[in-house]
Structure 1
Amino acid sequence: MRITRTVRTAVAALALAAVATACGGDEERSATQSAAEGNLTVGIKFDQPGLGLRTPDGSFTGFDVEVAKYVADKLGVAPENIEWKEAPSAQRETLIQNGEVDYVVATYSITDARKEKVDFAGPYFVAGQSLLVREDNTDITGPESLSGGKRLCSVTGSTPAQNILDNYAGDVQLQPYDTYSACVEALRNGSVDAVTTDDIILAGYAAQYPGELKVVGEPFTEERYGIGLAKGDDETRGTINDAIDEMISDGSWEAAFEETVGASGYALPTPPTVDRY
């Protein structure tokens, strides 16, 4: 009886382990499977005006939000069945790899290094890195003018921060923060001299603080925003690519841009071409 009871206990433990693995564990989830169950969890930024912003009433607005909802609709999921999850720059790959989100639409630049960990659909937008300064600043006009010990803020784990380290380090004092909203507050209170990230993100903050902040210089990189999803989830990636193409061709892409970003004065760009790598 003791042997039988031991064997049964071991079998039960193995069964529970198998169920746990099937329910999540280290296995990357498929967004298509989640959609078939009627729900999606989508990673966005919560603090980027015009792109991904949580409003005081708890709702979410922005271009990335509209893109995410359009994609969800093509996957068969209504907006009310989307769970929005904050996706800080440094955590986006981890959220995808751990299966905490089905996909990420969060000003997520497609890079070769990131493609080793996750897959991308898109791009759905092409931006360029720029600089945000206080309205009364006259000596910062572009990346070359950041010398002399200027204090520059960007976000940990972001492409713009890495670009500064790689190409414009010199005597720039790069001060990484967890979020761009924290960088903007540091700029407003004089703790840093400039904030760097993509021009469309900075335009949203400048519009949020009119007469106080401004975007300066021409964009000095090209950032192709993609929708991040689990590595190897080819079926979902194909569906999302089709959705982006359709969003552009049916006019929804332009309408979403004008509704969310247009008020900042950022000019409507040429729609991107989806890269079906």
Structure 2
Amino acid sequence: MQKSTYRLVAVLAAGALALSACGGDDGDGDSDGDSTAGGEGGDGITIGIKIDQPGLGEQDGSDYVGMDVDIARHVAEELGYTEDQITFREAPSPQREDLLETGQVDIIFATYSITTEREERVQFAGPYFVAGQDLLVRADDDSITGPEDLGDKILCSVTGSTSAANVKDEYGGNLQEYASYSECVEMLVNGTVDTLTTDDTILAGYAAQEQFAGQLKVVGQVFSEENYGAGMQRGDDRCEKVNEILTAMWEDGTMDQIIEDNLGPANYTPNADLNPPTPGGHCG
């Protein structure tokens, strides 16, 4: 399966969006009003994604690329939409529930972990992938093989990251905080810090970037579970259909190919103890 990209549809006014029976909402952009919740025969579908996560959801000029983008595209096609009926829009983490509830997007694929708190407001198809917290280190560093090796190592994360703080409390490490993960990656490459921690998929995305080719590696010892789901507005009766599509993607090799296309350059392999997941149980 070839890696696909899509031209970003420019959007002008959130207030112009048409609400649908199961519409969702994305982040910062606005739709052109063509998004409907009907699947086959509808005028279009608006999908929320990340635009700043290399390998997962990233803006590349006027296109969107990444694992979540490719999964979203395949799901939309299986729901009956053509390429020109798909609109990708940014879905920042703090806005995802609000955007779905107000109908600004129909579905969100954006490293969106299924949690009890979120299920009070939205429903999820999936999980379609299970990530785990891991460590990113320099490719020539064999001194860190898991969190138990942190000791007095310099651990980098973003300011206010609870995951990094929890790792430090449980395993040790000298925590240094920066404004973004991309800054942490730069500090890791130049030797200022020893490791970076967050979801293994996000780490693999950074390691796969061309400018860091061969310089970084994911340790491969996950110590948490993050169940990525496709966020949908409550009442959207396509949720179970999306579960069927996601299941088929793992069964026919489509998901494996998408992961290889986007995260393969980092020599990333999904954790076999966690994947493939069994979608279902989160609709409604």
| Band of TM-score, shorter chain | 0.7 to 0.9
Query: What is the rounded CA distance, in whole Å, between the counterparts of 2:267 and 2:110 in structure 1?
Result: 21
Q: How does 1:57-72 map to 2 (within 5 A)?
A: 58-72=62-76
Q: How does 1:192-231 map to 2 (within 5 A)?
A: 193-208=194-209, 209-216=212-219, 218-230=221-233
Shift of 1:121: 0.7
Q: How does 1:32-181 map to 2 (within 5 A)?
A: 33=37, 35=39, 36-56=41-61, 58-135=62-139, 140-146=144-150, 148=152, 150-154=154-158, 161-166=161-166, 168-169=168-169, 172-173=174-175, 175=177, 177=179, 180-181=181-182
| One-letter code aligned to 2:23 | S
Shift of 1:66: 1.5
Q: Any conservation in 2 of the 1:28–1:98 contact (CA below 8 Å)? A: no
Give the greater-gyration-radius structure (CA). 1
Query: What is the rounded CA distance, in whole Å, between the counterparts of 1:267 and 1:149 in structure 2?
Result: 26
Q: Any conservation in 2 of the 1:28–1:97 contact (CA below 8 Å)? A: no
Query: What is the rounded CA distance, in whole Å, between the counterparts of 2:193 and 2:97 in structure 1?
Result: 28
How high is the TM-score relative to the length of structure 2? 0.73
Partner of 1:249: 251
In structure 1, which of residues 254, 266, 269 is the aligned counterpart of residue 268 of structure 2?
266
Matched, 1:30 2:23: yes
Query: What is the rounded CA distance, in whole Å, between the counterparts of 2:66 and 2:183 in structure 1?
Result: 19
Unaligned runs of 5+ residues in structure 2 are 1-14, 25-35
RMSD, aligned CA: 3.2
Cα distance change on mapping 1:112 and 1:155 into 2, 3 Å: farther
* Structure 2 residue matching 1:92: 3-state secondary structure: helix
Shift of 1:68: 0.2
Aligned residue pairs total 249
Q: Deviations over 1:173-231 (max 9, x none)?
A: 363646x435434544566543221212212211221233222351111221111112x
How high is the TM-score relative to the length of structure 1? 0.74
Query: What is the rounded CA distance, in whole Å, between the counterparts of 1:155 and 1:276 in structure 2?
Result: 34
Shift of 1:123: 0.9
- Percent identity, aligned pairs only, is 43
Query: What is the rounded CA distance, in whole Å, between the counterparts of 2:204 and 2:188 in structure 1?
Result: 15
* Structure 2 residue matching 1:30: 3-state secondary structure: coil
Query: What is the rounded CA distance, in whole Å, between the counterparts of 2:73 and 2:176 in structure 1?
Result: 35
Structure with greater helix percent: 1
Shift of 1:265: 1.3
* Structure 2 residue matching 1:125: 3-state secondary structure: strand
Q: Deviations over 1:123-162 (max 9, x none)?
A: 1111211011344656554334445483421486xxxx43
Q: Any conservation in 1 of the 2:205–2:262 contact (CA below 8 Å)? A: no
Q: Which moved more, 1:131-140 or 1:255-264?
A: 131-140
Shift of 1:241: 0.9
